[in-house]
Structure 1
Amino acid sequence: MDRHGAKDIERLSGARLTSEAKAALLAEQTECTFCFLDEDGGPAAVVLSFAVDDDRFWITSVQGRVQVRGVERDPRVSIVVSGTGTGSQGRQMLSITGTAEIHRDISGLGDRLDLLAARLAPDHPERFIALLTSPGRLLIEVTPTSTVASHDSRRLAGDGRGGPARVAQNEEDRS
């Protein structure tokens, strides 16, 4: 049986992220594309840092920013995470839709601030927490509702670029 992508890359259903690869991507990547609706109801997006805890995305922002105004108008959002810039081989991507909630009073969310600080400023988390507790600072919590798409080129022959076939990475790849 041919491996996915050996002759073409039209059928990519076999190149979705496994749950292990998804967890690895979310653990390694610290930036996402955060998509929301602008004031005219059109698509808009910004790149933001994030952390994931208990399957929820946590993003820090400031009152009045375009993404905050977008969530205030409509809490339906999308988040796209790619493996670009990580040490991972191949190309990985995860796109989810979700519902965003703005937390303006972050005094009770110290554990989330600690999570963000440890992830985004591991050398000096206390300095980052001081920045995160500034006036106007808030947290956006995104609860995923569905996975739109995912991709892992390592599950394709030749990494999906027509190169030589690579050895399967796990038993699931051999089936």
Structure 2
Amino acid sequence: MSDNELGTKNLEKLKGTHLDGGDQEELLMTQTECSFVFLDADGWPRGVIMSFIYDKGSVWLTAVEGRAHVKGADRDERVSVIVSSAGSGLPGRRMVALKGRVTVHRDPAVKDWFLHEFTHRIQPADPHSWRKLLDSPNRVVFEVVPEGKPTSHDQRKIPGNGRGMAAGADTGRKVGP
């Protein structure tokens, strides 16, 4: 099959369908939920869905001491963060998977900075009420610094929406009210 059949007759060769740097940044700055993947005590990959912000080139999240993902991050700093465009309002299906090293911050100054940024970005209508809930004694902050090349995908680069249809074909799916 030729490369020009990508998206209409095959999805084997996805070369060139990665998210470009600016589009990765847009996804990370727009989306608010991710999958946080860590190794559990038995060495198995395990994941949780978490709210996050992207700032200073890092993914920032929060949890409470004693939870499996905090223990996992303390045990092994190697983690992954997977972000999709689902529910973000961005056009097209997009995703980026970042591998990186996590630092678990317990410093009150980091927690103070994070809670301000996090609550204002995630809950802008009433950040103060949410901050009161989150600002607990056992709260920690994760900073994931990405390393290596991310894995990403940008469906907008695939003709036919990547679902076997000719470009411009009606999917029959109702969008909106």
> TM-score, normalising length from structure 1?
0.88
- For structure 2, the residue ranges without an aligned partner over 5 or more in a row are 169-177
Aligned-pair identity in percent equals 40
- Residues 95 and 147, structure 1, Cα contact 8 Å, conserved in 2: no
Per-residue displacement from partner, 1:113-157 (whole Å, max 9, x unpaired)? 221111211111112222222110110110001234100101100
Bigger shift: residues 117-126 or 127-136: 127-136
- In the other structure, the counterpart of 1:133 is 135
Structure 1: stretches of 5+ with no match in the other structure: 167-175
RMSD: 1.6
The structure 2 residue matched to 1:16, chosen from 12, 15, 18, is: 18
Please give the alpha-carbon distance, in whole angstroms, between the structure 2 residues aligned to 1:6 and 1:15.
15
Tell me which residue corresponds to 2:41: 39
Map 1:38-117 onto structure 2 (within 5 A). 38-117=40-119
Cα shift at 1:106: 2.7
Determine whether 1:27 maps to 2:29: yes
Moved more, 41-50 or 83-92: 83-92
Q: Cα distance 1:21–1:3, how it changes in 2: closer, same or farther (>3 A)?
A: farther
Q: What corresponds to 1:151 in structure 2?
A: 153
Q: Secondary structure at the match of 1:114?
A: helix
Distance, in Å, in 1 between the alignment partners of 2:138 and 2:5 is: 52
Aligned position for 2:175: none
- Aligned length in residues: 166
Displacement of 1:71 in angstroms is 0.6
Aligned to 1:46, the other structure's residue is in SS state: strand
Rate the CA distance shift 1:148–1:18 in 2: closer, same or farther, 3 A.
closer
- 1:2 correspondence with 2:4: yes
Does the C-alpha gap of structure 1 residues 41 and 108 become closer, same or farther in structure 2, counting only changes over 3 Å?
closer
**Counterpart Cα distance in 1 of 2:152 and 2:106:** 32
Does structure 1 conserve the Cα–Cα contact (< 8 Å) formed by 2:33 and 2:49?
A: yes
Which residue does the alignment assign to 2:174? none
2:128 corresponds to 1:123: no
Structure 2: how far apart are the matches of 1:6 and 1:138? 47
The Cα shift of 1:3 comes to 7.0
State the match for 1:173 in structure 2: none
Farther off after superposition, 52-61 or 84-93 = 84-93
Segment drifting more, 84-93 vs 60-69: 84-93
TM-score (norm 2): 0.87
Q: Moved runs in structure 1, 4+ residues, more than 6 A?
A: none
Q: Distance in 2 between matches of 1:74 and 1:2?
A: 44
